[in-house]
Structures are given as C-alpha cells and as structure tokens.
Structure 1
Amino acid sequence: MTTGREYLRVSVDRSGRQKSNDEQQEDNRRCWSETDFGEPYRDVGSASRHSRTRRDGFDDLLDDLRTDRFGAEHLVLWESSRGSRKVGEWVELLELCEQRSVKIAVTTHGRIYDPSNSRDRKSLIEDAVDSEYESSKISTRVRRDAAALAAAGHPHGPVRFGYRRRYDPDTRRIAGEEPDPAEAPVIEELFARLEAGDSLRAIATDYERRGITTRTGKTMSPQFLRHFATNPAYAGLRLHVPGRRNGRVKPGEGSLTEGQWPAIVSMSRWHAVQKLLGDPTRRTNHGRNVRRGAGRHFLSMIAVCDPCGSVLIVGSENRTNRAPFYRCQQAGHVQVSKAGLDDVAERLIISYLRDRRNTHVDPGADTELAALRDQIAAIQVELDDLADQVGRGDLTAALAARAEPGIRKRLETAQQREIELSTPGVLRRLLGPGADIAARWADMPMSAKREAARLVLSPGYVGQLRVTPNPVPGRRGTPVEERVVLLRKETNELNSPNSIEE
C-alpha cells in the first residue's frame, strides 16, 4: 500500500455546481483505494493569478515539501487546476515534488505523474498553462460584463442603506431598487442638514440619541455618515472604477453614469454637499491630532491675526479666574476676549444678512437653481461618457473633439447661471420667511454657526475678520471693535467695521 496526502481546494461557489472539498475527497479515495491517506491540506478560494485571497493550505503544502515534512509518496489532486492556475506556482510545486521524490496523482485523469519524467512534467506544465489561460479569459469576460452593466447604470454589490430590492415574482431575479420607506428619510435628513451647515459629528450624536443605527444595530459614527454623504448612488448615479475590487474611492476616481434606480437626494444637493465636505478650510486640525473641543468655538481657526495672517485659536487656560480668550496660533501676536470677539462677529453677520441687498432668497429662483444644478450634473455625466466612449473605441477622437466644445459651452453657460442664482445652503435656514434672523441664529447649532461665519466673514462677503494687537500693551480696556479690521476682496484693503447693527 502506498501513502498519500491530498490538497483539496474549491473556489467560493454560489452556483452549487462545483465539487466541494468533501466531494473531492470521496472521489480521490474511491480512485486511489490502495492508498493510505494522511492529513489533507484544505483551501477555499480561487487559485487564479487575479485572486488576492491567501491560500494557507497551499502555503503549508509548499513549506512541508521545502522542509521535508510532507511524509507521503504521493500528492493527490482531484484535478490539476486544483493545485494552481498560476504557472509560476505550479512549476515551483513540481520542482519541490521532484526534489522530494513525490509523485502527483490526478483523480480526474486516473493516472500518476512523475515530475522527474520529462514527458509527465511537460503534460503537467501544459495543464497549468491551459488553466491560467482559461482563468484569464474568465477574468476578462467578468471585467467586460461589469463595465457594460456600469455603463447601463445597473446596481452593483449589496443593497446600500436607504434602498431595498424589488424581485420579479416569477423568476425571483432582481427587478430593481427603490427607496426604503424607513431608511431613505435618514439619508434625506443627512444631506439636508449637511447642506444647512450641521457637522457630521453633530448629526451622528443626534442620530445616536434618537436610536438611529445601521442595519446591524451599530451606532452611525461621523466617518460612517461621511461614507453615506459622499456616495453618488444616493443622487441616482452609478460609479464604476475599472479594476477596483474594494477599498475607498479617491475623489475624481472612476466614471459616473445615470443609475437605473430613483435618487433619494437631488444631484444639486449632492454636489453642494461634496463641495462642503471637500472644503479644506473646514478642517480644524490642519494636519495635527484633533484638539479636544476642536470645532466647538465659534471663531477658532476662522478669525485671523492681522500682523502675521495666522488663524486664532482658543488660548489654553491655567488661571481659573481668567475668562476664555482667542490668541494667535503662530506666535502669540494678539490676544482678545473670546466673548467680546464672538459678539462682534455675530452682530456683523446678522446685520449683513438683514440687508436684503446682500442676500436674496426667491422661492422661484430656488426651484430654478435645483433644476439648473441637475442640468449641470447631467452635462458633466455627458462629458464623462464621451471620454469613456473614446476609451472603449466606440467613438473616434476626431468625432469626440467636434462634440466636446459644444458640450463644454453648455456647461459653462449653466454654471454661470448657477452663480447668479446661488445662495449658499448654510444661509438658507437664516434667510427664509418667518422668525427674525437673530432668533434663527440663536437656535442654530455651533457647527452651522461656524459654517455661516466661515462664509460671511470672508473677503467676498463682509470681509475677513482680522484682529490687531492691543494699541496699549497691558491695557485691557480697549474695546474689541477698535481692534477688528475687515479685509475685503474688491479692494484688498483693511476697513474698520464702522456700522454694526445692535
């Protein structure tokens, strides 16, 4: 009686048509009934060169052959492709078997191969070449099909939060996706609040308080909500990144096409949120570890030190009797009362917004703006699709060059009209009809107030809020208003806030 050890492998099988490891083992033992089998090596996963899955059983097999711990006369495989679909791996296995005088028994062939025999070796290597070629054909076909499904806007992967699947009652195949009545409002609220200026952390805290969780019952963290907020699927767009299997998508990576499912949020709102989340001025840590309390102070990282141009931060407080203050982050050029500067900034913002010559919210214009932003997004998708057609060879570069200028002209015209109609979303909750702006301001969360301050206290609006040093060192009685100057865009000059509405 001879001795043998099996290497059993099956790919992840969703069809139910592949031989399981146990079924392979039964076939092996029927075919080689005169063999005394030792402990088998087992793996579940592809052996293709396109696979990224580790095969621990195969690695153990190679290690045992290298260290002469294999302990049998034959390596038994159900079929030769079970060993590897990578020619390099297969050749390494053959060489190790030859060094240890181990023969290879292939059950589906009904014969035993000797790696030291040139004819047997040639047959086994030809099997590996054929397997790798077949694996490559399958991979190419899968990628081509995935690209075609993406171009047609078909959904891909597990059903995302906010949607549910519809199935054909006869075939039970997926018929489409539709907003889930329980989950879709959570997504709608997320985008609306982000556009209005709420922070991801504030929304996450509120969701936790209200018991809103993931499908598995976990708390929705700010990072989790950011993943939702940057997902184009909620605007009815299908993202396709050729060759990507998992991991985060980088901004601008891949191509977008119109999906075959209804959007939960408008494309205009989705694009507005992407612009907000991608704004580098929203960061409060600037490359360092986040400070405790970062983003909780009204003007921290927004107001500016006039002498050096560095941002102001809240000063560390060691003396219990001293009120909180802002200070220059860079070199301590200025210090100013936190309460006093906050008060000046709030009155500047409210005074500016009360003047309807500065901002105007027209419900009709708002409707037109939403439609216009949807149009801009559609034109952008049209441009992306033109580039994809050239890349696939469906359209010549010459024809694309003739079509592109007209599409870009329409895009520029629509974008210019958007600028004329736009009122930033963070200001809309302040400027709508009803309660006074000051009352609305008082009800806003700090994250929304900071977004409003970041916008209004900028050179294109009221002016960049800058603080000068105390004119008399050591004197604390200088009013904060006298130390505030505003840098405006049109003049690039510093101006005092001469009129602040009380």
Structure 2
Amino acid sequence: MKAAIYTRVSVDRTANARSVSSQEQECRAEVERRGWEAAAIYTDNDRSASRYARKNRPHFDQLMADIAVKKFDVVVTWEASRATRDLEVYVALRAVCRAAGVQWCYSGKLYDLSRPDDAFSTGLDALISERESDQTRERIMRAMRQTAATGKPHGKIPYGYAREYDNATGALIRQYPHPEQAPIIQEAARRVLAGESMRKIAQHLRALGLMSQSTAWAPARLTELLKSPTLAGYRVYQGKIIGDAAWEPVIDRETFHALQGILNDPARTTQRGSDPAQLLTGIATCGVCDGSMVRRHTRGKNQYQCRVNYCASRNVEKTDSYVVHALLEKLQEKAVMDAAAAVADDDTSPLLDEINALEARLNGFYQQAAEGSLTPQGLARVETSILDQVQSKRQAIAAASKPKAKALDAERIVAGWDDFELTEQREIVRAMMKVRILRAGRGHSTFDPSLIEITWLP
C-alpha cells in the first residue's frame, strides 16, 4: 500500500520545525511497521487547524486534492487533531476518503471511513479535537479580557511607547511613552490642530528623517496613528474603548478628542491616488445639480466641468484667478484680520466630561451584550446613537481646541499666497468659502465673474 504522511503544528515560535519532524519520524515508523510505502510527505508548519485559523494550509489542501484522485491508499497522521480540529473539515475529509477508497491511520490504528464503526470513532475524535480547540481559545480570550479589564497592555508595542520587562522573569513591568517617538506624535497632533494638512505633516517628518521601514510616514499611516485611543491612555478591546489603561498617555484626552473631531469629520475629504492638480477640483460644485466639479481638458480647453451631468463648465485659470483674488481681498478686511489673531480659549472640560460619560454608558451596554441581556440588534441601535453624540462633541472640542477657521494667519497668507503648496491653498479655500459654478447661457463666450458664486463661511 502507498501511504501519504501529513504533519502539522499550530505554533512554531522557533521556526525549527522540530515538532513536525518528530511527527514524521513516528509516522514513518508506523508505515514501516505495517510494510507500507511512504509515497508522499505533506507538512504545514506553524498552521492552526481550528475553525479560528487565520492562515490557510496549502499542503493539506494539496493532500485533499491528491486523495480525490487516489494517488495513495492510506493517509497517516500522528493523531486525529493533526489533520483537523474543525468538525466541518473532518466531514469533508471523510467524504473524499470514502469516495476514493482511501483509509486513515493515526495513533497506531487504521480506519476505513466507509465503515460505520470507524466513521463513528474518527468522528468522535474529531469532535473532541474541536472541543479542545474551543476550550483553548476560550482560555486565551478570557485571559485577554482580564488583561484588558485591568488596563494592562497586550500584543505588540504600539508606536509611541516602550516597555520595561523584569530581567529575571521576563514579566512586563510597565509601558511608558517612548522618549523619541512620543514627541513625534505630540508634534504631529499640534500641527493637525493648527490646521496643517496630513500631507504636509508627513513631508515634515520625512524631511527630518523621523522614519524607519516600519514607520514610513504617509498621510494615511499618520492619520491611522493619531486615531489610536492607546495614545490617550485608553484600553481598547476588540476595537472598543473599555476603560482607562495602566499606562501614561502620550497626548492628553482633550487633545485626543479634538483630533478625532477633525480626523473623523464627514466633511473632511481624503484624496486617494495622486493629489489634485487644480485649486478647486472637488471643492467647487455645480450650480445646477450641486455635483462636484473636476478638471477636464476638451477641445483644447482647460475647464472645470460638472462631474455628473456636465451641467456647467468654466475656464480653470480664470476661475482660479477670480477666486483667489476674492479670497485675498476678504482676508484683508479688518474683521477677518482681527479674527486671525484670535485663538479659541473656550473651556472644553464639560464637553470632555460628557464624552467620558457617554463612553462609560456605551461600555455598560457592551457588557450587557456580552452577558446576553442585550440583543445584537439592540446594541447596534444604542451604539450608533451614542457614537454619533460622541463624534458631535469631539467636533465641538476640535473647533474650540484649534485656531478658528478664520484664525489662519491672514497677513501671512495675503503676503505669501504663491509660496503655499497647492494642498495648503486648497485647505484655506475650503475653510473660507463655498464656490458654485453656474451654467452659462448661450452667447457667453467670454469669462463672466457673475457666474462664479462665492459664499463665505462663518
């Protein structure tokens, strides 16, 4: 008889494959004892066979395919759990073995899966293996929940932090702000609150050489980092804030919630792919259908045109020139110049208290759901309502924690508009005005400023 040997281990921290080697030796000994021929060896190292596995098992998949075409007569594993700890996978294995007339040998016993008694015995072993897997996972999850409830860190070290371990036992002593990384996060947070774009902040960090292969600064990477509750001393479990952490925050909570108000603002647009090459792309809207205006080059003309219905269009250069001229004139007005020097000093502590109370209330609902006294549907409704309130208050903190929209340095903008990058110019335009491009009637062959409608934002 031709035999196929399959070996597997879930965790191989040393990557030396010692466990699968031991399995192979024992399986080979069984093959020799029975006088079979070892026709093939299949090995999945560092791969789980439970239904919670996150990695596939390419060699097991190949084994199943080879069983189907009966490349051998028997499959040999060290024990049943090496093949699978998932009852559904066992059923599939049993079906393919029955169809091909291939037997299964493990723990020194040979099973013909077409026989009811053997099918029952192997099925029972598969059920036990699955139960052991579930119990192991539950122990791990329980330990993780306990760690989370006490606010202790878990998993890899987050950027911005370092850890201290006991030299004798290797036990974690504390997690604390990293002396080099934490100031980088704090500076990035200050720049966001000051109104700088993520692109410019990321460029600044790259220019300073504050990057490595794992922390290559890109706007999306930086945004993701600044959204992390870990930085504010919150403990997160399964994506939810569940309480205070046992480590010192890198940024204070008022700053954190102000950042969330900015970064999660639905009105904030994130450019994907290449940056816009025109001032008003995606900012100006169509005066007919309110669709966004994009730059199109047609018939030798460079125009802003309605993206959706082509309702309206206008020359790019002349429109930009008119809008910029109006913007700089507005910035020179005394009322705006006065506002530019004023930075919000509102007391946001009541808002922060309200956010803390809402989050504590939400955590209570999470606990009810975990205990089964609140349905998933009920939790979803409550969660949506509370998170909307939290986001609204975060935006209020953001508005009070950073310079007001008009608190841009008006004098510097007026004097050096051309020195600003296009992304910065676009942010200024977005903060100051709304631009609508109206449809020109027949006979409008020349640029008409009256067809550019500007609404100044408060």
Return the letter of the residue paired with 1:259.
A
Query: Once the 2 structures are TM-superposed, how far is the Cα of residue 67 of structure 1 from its aligned partner?
Result: 0.5
Deviates most, 42-51 or 169-178: 169-178
1:5 aligns with 2:9: no
Query: Once the 2 structures are TM-superposed, how far is the Cα of residue 441 of structure 1 from its aligned partner?
Result: 7.2
Aligned 8 A contact 2:175 2:247 in 1: yes
CA 1:283–1:272: 2 relative to 1, 3 Å:
same
Aligned 8 A contact 1:197 1:426 in 2: no
Alpha-carbon separation, structure 2, partners of 1:221 and 1:257 = 30
CA RMSD, Structure 1 to Structure 2 (Å): 4.2
- Corresponding position of 1:83: 83
What's the % identity of the aligned pairs? 25
- Corresponding position of 1:248: none
Q: What is the CA deviation profile of residues 381-419 of structure 1, one whole-angstrom value per residue up to 9, with x for unaligned ones?
A: 21222212322339899xxxxxx9xxx9xx99x959957
1:380 aligns with 2:358: yes
Alpha-carbon separation, structure 2, partners of 1:142 and 1:420 = 39
Aligned 8 A contact 1:326 1:338 in 2: no
Tell me the secondary structure at the aligned position of residue 422 of structure 1.
helix
Gaps of 5+ in 1: 242-252, 398-403, 458-463, 491-502
Aligned 8 A contact 2:164 2:172 in 1: yes
CA 1:428–1:487: 2 relative to 1, 3 Å:
closer
- Corresponding position of 2:378: none
Return the letter of the residue paired with 1:235.
A
Structure with greater helix percent: 2
Query: Once the 2 structures are TM-superposed, how far is the Cα of residue 48 of structure 1 from its aligned partner?
Result: 1.1
Aligned 8 A contact 2:151 2:235 in 1: yes
Tell me the secondary structure at the aligned position of residue 40 of structure 1.
strand
Alpha-carbon separation, structure 2, partners of 1:449 and 1:99 = 69
Tell me the secondary structure at the aligned position of residue 235 of structure 2.
strand
Q: What is the CA deviation profile of residues 240-275 of structure 1, one whole-angstrom value per residue up to 9, with x for unaligned ones?
A: 22xxxxxxxxxxx64443222222223333333333
- Corresponding position of 1:244: none
Q: What is the CA deviation profile of residues 127-154 of structure 1, one whole-angstrom value per residue up to 9, with x for unaligned ones?
A: 1111112222222333333333333333
- Corresponding position of 2:54: 52
CA 1:151–1:426: 2 relative to 1, 3 Å:
farther
Tell me the secondary structure at the aligned position of residue 20 of structure 1.
helix
Tell me the secondary structure at the aligned position of residue 4 of structure 2.
strand
Query: Once the 2 structures are TM-superposed, how far is the Cα of residue 167 of structure 1 from its aligned partner?
Result: 0.9
Aligned 8 A contact 1:198 1:447 in 2: no
Return the letter of the residue paired with 2:362.
D
Return the letter of the residue paired with 1:331.
C
CA 1:375–1:438: 2 relative to 1, 3 Å:
farther
Aligned 8 A contact 1:163 1:180 in 2: yes
2:144 to 125, 146, 163: 146
Return the letter of the residue paired with 1:77.
T
Query: Once the 2 structures are TM-superposed, how far is the Cα of residue 475 of structure 1 from its aligned partner?
Result: 5.6
Alpha-carbon separation, structure 1, partners of 2:259 and 2:138 = 36
Alpha-carbon separation, structure 1, partners of 2:352 and 2:373 = 26
- Corresponding position of 1:161: 159
Aligned residue pairs, count = 437
CA 1:426–1:235: 2 relative to 1, 3 Å:
farther
The residue correspondences of 1:378-457 to structure 2 (distance < 5 A) are 378-393=356-371, 415=393, 422=400, 424-425=402-403, 427=405, 430=408, 438=414, 445-457=421-433
Alpha-carbon separation, structure 1, partners of 2:43 and 2:440 = 76
Aligned 8 A contact 2:304 2:313 in 1: no
Aligned 8 A contact 1:349 1:453 in 2: no
- Corresponding position of 1:228: 225
2:203 to 193, 202, 205: 205
Query: Once the 2 structures are TM-superposed, how far is the Cα of residue 181 of structure 1 from its aligned partner?
Result: 1.6
- Corresponding position of 1:493: none
- Corresponding position of 2:336: 353
Tell me the secondary structure at the aligned position of residue 166 of structure 1.
strand
Aligned 8 A contact 1:466 1:485 in 2: yes
1:265 to 237, 248, 251: 251
Aligned 8 A contact 1:115 1:121 in 2: yes
Alpha-carbon separation, structure 1, partners of 2:353 and 2:285 = 38
Return the letter of the residue paired with 1:8.
T
Aligned 8 A contact 1:48 1:85 in 2: yes
Deviates most, 420-429 or 207-216: 420-429
**TM-score (structure 2 length as normaliser):** 0.78
Alpha-carbon separation, structure 1, partners of 2:51 and 2:179 = 43
Aligned 8 A contact 2:7 2:23 in 1: yes
**TM-score (structure 1 length as normaliser):** 0.72
2:262 to 276, 295, 300: 276
- Corresponding position of 1:67: 69
- Corresponding position of 1:496: none
Aligned 8 A contact 1:197 1:452 in 2: no
Alpha-carbon separation, structure 2, partners of 1:389 and 1:302 = 43
Return the letter of the residue paired with 2:10.
S
Return the letter of the residue paired with 1:105.
C
CA 1:316–1:474: 2 relative to 1, 3 Å:
same
Query: Once the 2 structures are TM-superposed, how far is the Cα of residue 157 of structure 1 from its aligned partner?
Result: 2.2
CA 1:333–1:15: 2 relative to 1, 3 Å:
closer
Tell me the secondary structure at the aligned position of residue 37 of structure 1.
strand
Alpha-carbon separation, structure 2, partners of 1:326 and 1:103 = 71
1:341 aligns with 2:323: yes
Alpha-carbon separation, structure 2, partners of 1:416 and 1:198 = 18
Aligned 8 A contact 2:50 2:86 in 1: yes
Gaps of 5+ in 2: 376-381
